[in-house]
């Protein structure tokens, strides 16, 4: 179940938003402006934060590790981690239990990223400096958003693993990729490109699907997924719930309503509810999908198992699962 840390009105199991710079006036359009949410397993599921706002971190977050695999992607302006700079849509996969950093922030740019922890119990940073560790522990103790989350101790065993469908290798504890270059991704039958990434628990961890869908790509039919889903438009646009996309005025499980998601628009979809049919916009769409538990993929359509691009994505996911099982 998706749990938001702010109030929202859900419609047939979903809520929509746009990651906007909240330092600017926010229009009264009923859309969320970014989100911080828990999803999946109520104890050890992922946590996602996506926002553009004033700086909420120190100017330099020191070298540290987390007891969870993590994913971060720049939104709008670049972000800096260690010696690397990541432009909008570029991302970093970081292995659990491995030190990284420092991270750098400025007042001009502020905080502008999507950050995913595959296991919310691994949110606590473990630092190399004991004094800074005490400060971090105090800050965590005062953070109301972490209420009810039992943090993993430093010596906890974390059975996490990271794998991907496009050949990127951990070096030694992270790899970089992004929507700025999709040439190495798999090409689907409708001309779309797809990258699949598994992180977190070896069997029940998070699935990331990165889509580069051209204009005119086949519409994705309405579907139901047995896991919570976050869908973010990185570039371009897509229409969800358009009656012309699936040939009917009604979505499955109730009227979809129809929404046009542009750059940094997102949908949060609860486990087991119907997601409306969708079509990429006039310039195509590059999208990040976060699936809380990869065992739920592929979804089902109105007539049974998913077909087309959704089924092709299922083959990529199955290959990742087999690779992780063989490496265990």
In this structure, are 167 and 310 located in the same domain?
yes
- Domain-embedded: residue 170: yes
Please state the domain count of the chain: 2
Among the candidates 90, 120, 146, a domain finishes at 146
In this structure, are 126 and 223 located in the same domain?
no
Backbone conformation region of residue 264, classed left if phi is above 0, alpha if psi is from -120 to 50, else beta: left
- Domain-embedded: residue 155: no
- Domain-embedded: residue 98: yes
- Domain-embedded: residue 53: yes
In this structure, are 168 and 266 located in the same domain?
yes
> Which range marks the domain in which residue 65 is found?
3-146
In this structure, are 141 and 168 located in the same domain?
no
The pLDDT tens digits for 24-52 are 888 888 899 999 999 999 999 999 999 99
In this structure, are 103 and 179 located in the same domain?
no
- Domain-embedded: residue 62: yes
Residues of the chain falling short of pLDDT 50: 244-256
- Domain-embedded: residue 269: yes
- CB–CB of 174/95 below 8 Å? yes
83: its two tokens? 């010696």
> Which among 48, 114, 49 is positioned nearest to 292, based on CA atoms?
48
Q: Does residue 102 have a cis bond before it (omega within 30 degrees)?
A: yes
- Domain-embedded: residue 73: yes
- CB–CB of 160/201 below 8 Å? yes
- CB–CB of 35/4 below 8 Å? yes
- Counted residue by residue, the chain has a size of 328
- Domain-embedded: residue 178: yes
CA-to-CA distance for 19 and 53, rounded, in angstroms? 10
- CB–CB of 240/278 below 8 Å? yes
Q: Does residue 298 have a cis bond before it (omega within 30 degrees)?
A: yes
In this structure, are 78 and 109 located in the same domain?
yes
Among the candidates 120, 146, 172, a domain finishes at 146
- Three-state SS at 262: coil
2: its two tokens? 């998706």
What CATH code is carried by the domain that includes residue 67?
Answer: 2.60.120.10
In this structure, are 98 and 247 located in the same domain?
no
In this structure, are 258 and 184 located in the same domain?
yes
In this structure, are 200 and 265 located in the same domain?
yes
The pLDDT tens digits for 230-254 are 999 999 999 999 554 443 333 333 3
pLDDT value at position 257? 60
In this structure, are 173 and 99 located in the same domain?
no
pLDDT value at position 108? 73
- CB–CB of 215/182 below 8 Å? no
In this structure, are 213 and 253 located in the same domain?
yes
CA-to-CA distance for 186 and 193, rounded, in angstroms? 5
> Which among 56, 71, 75 is positioned nearest to 17, based on CA atoms?
75
In this structure, are 189 and 299 located in the same domain?
yes
From residue 220, alpha-carbon distances to 98, 137, 158 in Å are: 38, 45, 36
């Amino acid at each position: 179940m998706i749990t938001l840390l702010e109030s929202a009105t859900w419609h047939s199991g979903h809520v929509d938003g746009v990651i906007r710079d909240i330092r600017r006036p926010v229009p009264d359009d009923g859309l969320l402006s970014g989100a911080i949410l828990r999803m999946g397993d109520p104890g050890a599921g992922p946590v996602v934060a996506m926002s553009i706002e004033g700086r909420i971190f120190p100017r330099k977050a020191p070298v540290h590790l987390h007891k969870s695999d993590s994913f971060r992607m720049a939104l709008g302006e670049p972000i800096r981690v260690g010696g690397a700079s990541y432009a909008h849509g570029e991302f970093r996969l970081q292995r659990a239990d491995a030190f990284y950093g420092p991270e750098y922030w400025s007042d001009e740019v502020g905080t502008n990223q999507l950050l995913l922890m595959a296991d919310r119990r691994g949110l606590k940073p473990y630092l190399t400096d004991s004094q800074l560790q005490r400060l971090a522990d105090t800050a965590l103790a005062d953070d109301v958003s972490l209420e009810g989350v039992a943090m993993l101790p430093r010596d906890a065993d974390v059975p996490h693993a990271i794998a991907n469908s496009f050949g990127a290798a951990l070096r030694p504890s992270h790899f970089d990729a992004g929507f700025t270059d999709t040439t190495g991704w798999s090409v689907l039958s409708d001309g779309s490109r797809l990258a699949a990434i598994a992180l977190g628990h070896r069997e029940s961890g998070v699935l990331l699907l990165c889509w580069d869908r051209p204009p005119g790509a086949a519409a994705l039919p309405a579907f139901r997924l047995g896991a919570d889903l976050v869908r973010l438009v990185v570039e371009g646009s897509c229409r969800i719930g358009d009656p012309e996309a699936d040939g009917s005025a009604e979505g499955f499980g109730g009227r979809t309503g129809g929404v046009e998601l542009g750059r940094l628009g997102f949908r949060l979809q609860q486990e087991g509810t119907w997601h409306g049919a969708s079509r990429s916009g006039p310039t195509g769409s590059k999208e990040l999908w976060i699936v809380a538990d990869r065992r739920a993929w592929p979804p089902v359509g109105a007539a049974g198992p998913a077909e087309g691009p959704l089924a092709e994505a299922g083959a990529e996911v199955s290959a990742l699962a087999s690779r992780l099982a063989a490496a265990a």
